[in-house]
């Protein structure tokens, strides 16, 4: 039994490994931006250890730098991370039988990359026992997490020495394009994506990036509506 768990763990690590190419610059960039925004080393590392969600970290950091109200900062971070709630619902049929403490660890380890590779594995191998599903999931996170923490630290300590021409900020859009572009397979997905883009652009002038909150809410509503309409037509 245990060798099978170990093999599943190693498969998860191999599946997550390609994302190191973008996780590295992403983490470095957050370390640099965090210190430039006035956070000390403990605060920057606390962000990366406790939140473990790069997109919301960047969003919250930008708003903090703009002296946005705390409520706006929290609401924006939560809105950006609403996708994790959808990830959880998607994983529940596969991991829901696990003990509570393992599900709690999985909640901490639920990052975009771990979800993306794990859900594909579960759909390809629905016969996997729960122990191997968990091993695969934690393996995909285990290859990424140390680099996320370490490179955040390096960025926070030595970020000023990184030449501007390295353009680390490319890592943020590239990461999400790599994750979500292959998932745009249905009309509902496309409708939600287009709605979020259009609304975010139209409301870009709103203060404290509140246009993103509106765009996220409308995108989810439109995606759900389109999915319901498609199901009715079927």
Residue 62 pLDDT greater than 60, yes or no: yes
Half-sphere exposure of 184 (CA within 13 A, CB side): 11
Distance CA 169, CA 178 (A): 15
* Crossing angle (nearest 10°) for helices 130-158 and 20-36: 40
Q: Which domain holds residue 189?
A: 184-234
Residue that is last in its domain, among 143, 165, 180:
180
Question: Both ends of the chain: CA-CA distance in Å?
Answer: 43
Residue 198 sits in the same domain as residue 232 = yes
Residue 188 sits in the same domain as residue 175 = no
Q: Note whether 113 and 144 are within 8 A (CB).
A: yes
Residue 98 pLDDT greater than 70, yes or no: yes
Residue 191 sits in the same domain as residue 164 = no
The pLDDT, as a whole number, for residue 161 is: 60
Residue 98 sits in the same domain as residue 158 = yes
Residue 107 sits in the same domain as residue 204 = no
Q: Which two tokens stand for residue 123?
A: 């759909």
Residue 92 sits in the same domain as residue 120 = yes
> What torsion, rounded to 10 degrees, do the Cα atoms 129, 130, 136, 141 define?
180
Residue that is last in its domain, among 153, 180, 207:
180
Give the H/E segment covering residue 109: none
Residue 190 sits in the same domain as residue 97 = no
Residue 161 sits in the same domain as residue 82 = yes
Residue 131 sits in the same domain as residue 204 = no
- Phi/psi for 186 (5° steps) reads -125, 165
Distance CA 63, CA 176 (A): 21
Encode pLDDT of 15-40 as tens digits: 999 999 888 888 888 888 888 778 89
pLDDT grade for 212, boundaries at 50, 70 and 90: confident
Encode pLDDT of 189-207 as tens digits: 888 889 988 998 999 888 8
Residue 107 sits in the same domain as residue 208 = no
Q: Note whether 15 and 140 are within 8 A (CB).
A: yes
Q: How far is CA 205 from CA 9, 159, 178, 199, in A?
A: 46, 30, 28, 11
Residue 36 sits in the same domain as residue 113 = yes
Residue 188 sits in the same domain as residue 176 = no
What total of structural domains would you count in the chain? Answer: 2
What is the length of the chain? 234
Residue 103 pLDDT greater than 70, yes or no: yes
Residue that is last in its domain, among 180, 202, 225:
180
Question: Under the phi-then-psi rule, with left for phi > 0, alpha for psi from -120 to 50, and beta for the rest, what region is 44?
Answer: alpha
pTM above 0.85, yes or no: no
Give the SS3 label for residue 3: helix
Nearest to 145 by CA among 111, 100, 102: 111
């Amino acid at each position: 039994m245990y060798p099978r768990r170990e093999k599943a763990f190693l498969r998860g690590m191999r599946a997550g490994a390609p994302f190191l190419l973008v996780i590295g610059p992403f983490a470095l960039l957050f370390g640099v931006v965090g210190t430039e925004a006035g956070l000390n080393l403990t605060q920057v590392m606390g962000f990366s250890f406790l939140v473990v969600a790069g997109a919301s970290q960047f969003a919250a950091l930008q708003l903090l730098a703009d002296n946005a109200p705390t409520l706006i900062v929290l609401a924006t971070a939560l809105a950006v991370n609403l996708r994790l709630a959808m990830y959880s619902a998607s994983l529940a049929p596969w991991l829901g039988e696990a003990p509570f403490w393992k599900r709690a660890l999985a909640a901490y380890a639920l990052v975009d990359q771990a979800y993306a590779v794990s859900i594909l594995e579960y759909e390809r191998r629905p016969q996997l026992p729960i122990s191997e599903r968990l091993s695969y999931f934690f393996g995909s996170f285990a290859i990424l997490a140390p680099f996320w923490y370490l490179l955040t630290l390096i960025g926070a300590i030595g970020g000023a020495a990184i030449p501007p021409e390295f353009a680390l900020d490319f890592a943020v859009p590239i990461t999400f394009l790599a994750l979500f572009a292959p998932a745009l397979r249905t009309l509902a997905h496309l409708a939600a994506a287009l709605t979020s883009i259009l609304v975010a652009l139209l409301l870009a002038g709103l203060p404290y990036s509140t246009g993103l909150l509106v765009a996220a809410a409308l995108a989810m509503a439109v995606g759900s509506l389109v999915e319901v309409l498609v199901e009715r037509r079927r």
